[in-house]
Amino acid sequence: MSVVSSVTVKVPATTANLGPGFDCIGAALTIYNQFQFNRLDEGLIIQVTGAEAERVQTDESNLLYQAFVKLYQYIDQPTPGVKIEIELGVPLARGLGSSATAIVGGLVAANRLAGEPLSQEQVMELAIAIEGHPDNVVPALLGGCRLAATSAKGWEICDVPWHSDVVPVVAIPDFELSTSEARRVLPTEYSRADAIFNTAHLGLLLRGLETGKREWLRAALQDKLHQPYRQALIPGYDAVNTAAVKAGAYGMVISGAGPTLLALANVSHAGAVEAAMSTAWQEAGITAVVRSLALDTHGAT
């Protein structure tokens, strides 16, 4: 492809872990960040619109720009001057992959402006290297629900079938939880029993998502590697979980590192689950935006 001077990249939010799939599974959701890149003769201009726009860095420390530079370094070309316009739709530091949208957006834009010297697989590997784990950046780039595993060659990415009746409902509170803080509370070692528990439940989750079978999904969303330790960092967790399940959800998990909570529900119960989660957090004195979403199947476009 010939070199272009302008490109707009739209990248979906993601939810990682889905309970037992800690650091290896994630799904793209229908909330988006959009990034427009215009080549300049020199320099850097970053403009940001949308909720929390004032909190985004507009200098060379911006993660989107750092990813943009990383690709040019990788292909051993000078980074061009660029004007970047960011339109925020994904909440910051809420467990919905905002950093993954920046990493993927920067890499995809740079690759297009450079004439697409890298394959999608190479872009994906760069994204994983920058993020440190695959669960958010892979679905942000590829769309859908994805399981990532290492192999002798690098990464094997598996598309996870997602039944059309399974609706993700996100409850996004008005407070933040940093990934580093959420990781600090985790133990450094786990028992064999806990490892076996999560292995079994991840297998059940994959089949539950594919079939939409209620009994499998209700059991599958349990986890012993990260959620028991992180729940205390999220005020109102127990109340929101109880309300979601009572309203008909298969279960509720922490989205990524949190504090966003994700319920999975049948399409016929999604509205009731949405209302119940909103009310439960409101009664706990916390303002939250609760939305029924869908699986994004396109990834970065």
Express each pLDDT in 95-121 by its tens digit.
999 999 999 999 999 999 999 999 999
What does the chain come to in residues?
301
* Nearest Cα residue to 34 out of 301, 293, 297, 290: 301
3-state secondary structure 44-107: EEEEEECCCHHHCCCCCCCHHHHHHHHHHHHCCCCCCEEEEEEECCCCCCCCCCHHHHHHHHHH
Quote the DSSP letter at residue 136.
T
Measure the N-to-C terminal CA separation of the chain; round to a whole number of Å.
Answer: 16
Half-sphere exposure at residue 76, Cβ-oriented, CA atoms within 13 angstroms? 0
Q: Is the pLDDT of residue 2 over 60?
A: no
Contact 12, 249 (CB under 8 A): no
Q: What percent of the chain has pLDDT over 70?
A: 99
Ranges of H-type helices in the chain: 63-74, 98-113, 120-131, 137-142, 179-184, 192-211, 214-220, 227-230, 237-246, 270-283
Measured CA distances, 203 to 16, 65, 186 (Å): 16, 38, 23
pLDDT at site 179: 77
Reported as a single tens digit per residue, the pLDDT across 181-234 is 888 999 999 999 999 999 999 999 999 999 999 999 999 999 999 999 999 999
Average pLDDT for residues 48-60, to the nearest whole number? 94
What global pTM score does this model have? 0.95
Annotated binding-site ranges: 91-101
What gap in Å lies between CA 19 and CA 164, rounded to an integer? 20
The radius of gyration of the chain from alpha carbons, rounded to an integer in Å, stands at 19
* Phi-psi label, residue 271: left if phi above 0, alpha if psi -120 to 50, beta otherwise: alpha
> Which element (helix H / strand E) includes 13?
strand 6-16
Q: Looking at beta carbons, which pairs linking 188-195 to residues 24 or more positions away fall under 8 Å?
A: 190/224, 190/225, 194/224, 194/225
According to DSSP, the residues that pair with 8 across neighbouring strands are 36
Binding residues for ATP: 91-101
